[in-house]
Amino acid sequence: MLKAHGHKIKFSMAEEVFTEMAENIPVLKDVNYDVIGELGLQLKYTKTVNAKV
């Protein structure tokens, strides 16, 4: 989607995208694929997210 809208893509795998999100979005800090597992993970809602994405 990003590439289709003219943005440069620096990721080649989904794991890289997730790692970048986890580094910049506080609620995702300790989340990884093992924590999510097969059933997913419910995150706590916060009104303000100051993320650089």
Give me 10's structure tokens: 């620096």
Query: According to the model, what pLDDT value does residue 15 have?
Result: 87
Q: Which helix (H) or strand (E) holds 36?
A: helix 33-36
Cβ atoms 11, 17 nearer than 8 A: yes
Does the predicted model carry a pTM greater than 0.75? no
Q: Could you read off the pLDDT of 15-30 as tens digits, one per residue?
A: 898 888 888 888 888 8
